[in-house]
């Protein structure tokens, strides 16, 4: 016969009560440990059970996401590039709407009394009011591009963006998934303390691979967005024409030298990697914990709406933070890519470019275009990640039904 717990000494009663319930139930500590273990498993679970998806299915999901994102956010990309190119010295004449006509007649007696749309003429050189020669901000860029070059010019470089985004994201997202799954499996078994750093490393590796593979198209896109149309009716070059224009100035009669000169197509790759690798590291190391915390209470069977909402929210926050933090490197990348002197372009380094930007514009110069960059990155990363995960979700459950 088992004695009542109330008849035990106080020290035995407390010990026994904490270990075994004499009615045969699981004790309090055991239940708490089980609950903690369950919560830990939920927080560490992969958002969507996608281990059986092939690389091709992952790439298809990513390509669709990239297509949607590139079309929706391209105007902000144009605004960001124009602001950064202007800070680098690219001239944008006649932005106020009235062409500045060169003349040798006279000089206006009182420049301050001139209207905003009247050129100031000094000798044989035409000088326009300051507002005619510069963009003031994101909205100003968008309005002036529409007024001067047409509404559809906001999608200048979209073909390059699509040509770039589809293969880049098609490489980036599937490789991140594969690297993350392999690394998490390895660290969980061998070094659990390193598991939280897996998204950071996997994102950096995947982004590096994607950047190096598709960089010439990124170069073409930046140059297409940076320079405005100066002659009405003249068709601007596309991706191939832009790349050809980059190569032509450094061509020579020596075939081996020409092959070596093709490295100009990777001008600014160092700045691109210096921007994108930290961006991916910050983005994924922020996104994964937020996403898992949102999806943790749902368990292993989330709905499509839950997957969409959780991924878009986490990716929007992570993309915005990463874009703001890496803006100085984006400014350096743009400045290197729009350099028209081939000899100088090949000699420029990211460090020298950053110092030059700091010397010319200080902190404001380093964060030139941060508004449209953050405004573009948040929705863009949100669309890409959520679309990608939802398509993976659909493919996964199609496999289950088959």
19 domain-assigned:
no
pLDDT, tens digit, for every residue of 281-306? 999 999 999 999 998 888 777 888 99
- pLDDT for residue 166: 77
CB 350 within 8 A of CB 330: no
Q: Residue 253: exposed, middle, or buried by beta-carbon count in 10 A (0-12, 13-18, 19+)? A: exposed
- In total, the chain counts a number of residues equal to 402
The span from the CA of 88 to the CA of 86, in Å, is 5
Locate 137 and state its tokens: 């901000």
- pLDDT for residue 18: 39
The span from the CA of 317 to the CA of 71, in Å, is 21
The span from the CA of 115 to the CA of 383, in Å, is 45
4 domain-assigned:
no
- pLDDT for residue 176: 92
- Residues in Cβ contact with 307 at an 8 Å cutoff, skipping those fewer than 6 apart: 47, 48, 295, 386, 389, 390, 393
294: domain CATH number is: 1.50.40.10
- pLDDT for residue 333: 85
134 domain-assigned:
no
The span from the CA of 346 to the CA of 103, in Å, is 39
User: What's the structural domain count of the chain?
Assistant: 1
- Residues in Cβ contact with 293 at an 8 Å cutoff, skipping those fewer than 6 apart: 43
- Backbone phi, psi, residue 4, to 5°: -70, 150
178 domain-assigned:
yes
17 domain-assigned:
no
Domain of residue 244, residue span: 52-89+155-401
- pLDDT for residue 129: 59
- pLDDT for residue 288: 92
Q: What is the pLDDT along the chain (402 residues), one digit of tens a residue?
A: 444 444 433 333 333 333 334 444 445 554 555 565 555 544 444 444 555 677 777 887 788 888 888 788 888 888 888 888 888 777 776 555 555 555 444 444 444 444 444 444 444 455 555 556 678 888 888 888 888 888 888 887 677 777 777 788 888 888 998 999 999 999 999 999 999 899 999 999 999 999 888 888 888 877 777 766 555 556 666 667 777 777 665 555 666 556 666 777 777 788 788 888 999 999 999 999 999 999 888 877 788 899 999 999 999 999 999 999 999 999 988 888 787 777 777 778 888 989 999 998 899 999 998 999 999 899 989 998 998 888 888 887 887 776
pLDDT, tens digit, for every residue of 311-335? 999 999 999 999 999 999 999 888 8
Instruction: For residue 353, give Cα distances in angstroms to 217, 328, 344.
Output: 22, 10, 11
183 domain-assigned:
yes
CB 40 within 8 A of CB 102: no
340 domain-assigned:
yes
240 domain-assigned:
yes
Q: Vertex 42, ends 37 and 43: CA angle to 5°?
A: 100
- pLDDT for residue 161: 72
């Amino acid at each position: 016969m088992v004695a009542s717990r109330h008849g035990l000494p106080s020290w035995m009663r407390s010990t026994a009560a904490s270990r075994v319930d004499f009615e045969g139930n699981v004790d309090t500590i055991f239940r708490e440990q089980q609950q903690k273990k369950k919560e830990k498993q939920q927080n560490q679970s992969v958002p969507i059970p996608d281990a059986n998806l092939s690389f091709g299915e992952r790439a298809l999901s990513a390509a669709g996401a990239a297509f949607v994102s590139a079309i929706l956010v391209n105007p902000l990309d144009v605004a960001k590039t124009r602001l950064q190119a202007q800070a680098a010295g690219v001239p944008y004449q006649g932005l106020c709407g009235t062409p500045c006509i060169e003349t040798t007649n006279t000089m206006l007696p009182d420049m301050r009394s001139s209207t905003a749309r009247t050129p100031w003429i000094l000798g044989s050189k035409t000088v326009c009011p300051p507002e005619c020669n510069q963009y003031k901000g994101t909205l100003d860029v968008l309005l002036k591009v529409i007024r001067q070059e047409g509404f559809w010019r906001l999608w200048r470089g979209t073909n390059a963006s699509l040509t770039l985004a589809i293969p880049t994201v098609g490489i980036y997202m599937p490789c991140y998934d594969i690297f993350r799954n392999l690394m998490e499996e390895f660290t969980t078994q061998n070094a659990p303390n390193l598991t939280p750093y897996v998204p950071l490393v996997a994102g950096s590796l995947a982004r590096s691979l994607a950047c190096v593979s598709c960089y010439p198209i990124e170069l073409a896109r930046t140059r297409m967005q940076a320079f405005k149309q100066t002659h009405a009716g003249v068709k601007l070059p596309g991706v191939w024409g832009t790349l050809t224009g980059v190569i032509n100035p450094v061509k020579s009669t020596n075939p081996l030298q020409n092959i070596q000169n093709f490295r100009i197509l990777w001008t600014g790759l160092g700045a691109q990697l210096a921007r994108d690798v930290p961006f991916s590291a910050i983005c994924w190391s922020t996104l994964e914990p937020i996403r898992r915390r949102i999806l943790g209470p749902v368990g292993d069977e989330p709905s499509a709406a839950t997957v969409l909402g959780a991924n878009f929210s986490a990716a929007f926050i992570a993309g915005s933070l990463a874009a703001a933090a890496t803006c100085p490197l984006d400014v350096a990348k743009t400045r290197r890519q729009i350099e028209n002197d081939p000899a100088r372009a090949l000699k420029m380094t990211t460090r020298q470019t950053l110092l030059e930007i700091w010397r010319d514009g200080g902190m404001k110069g380093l964060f030139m275009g941060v508004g449209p960059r953050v405004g573009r990155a948040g929705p863009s990363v949100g669309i890409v990640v959520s679309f990608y995960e939802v398509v993976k979700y659909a493919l996964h459950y199609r496999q289950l039904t088959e």
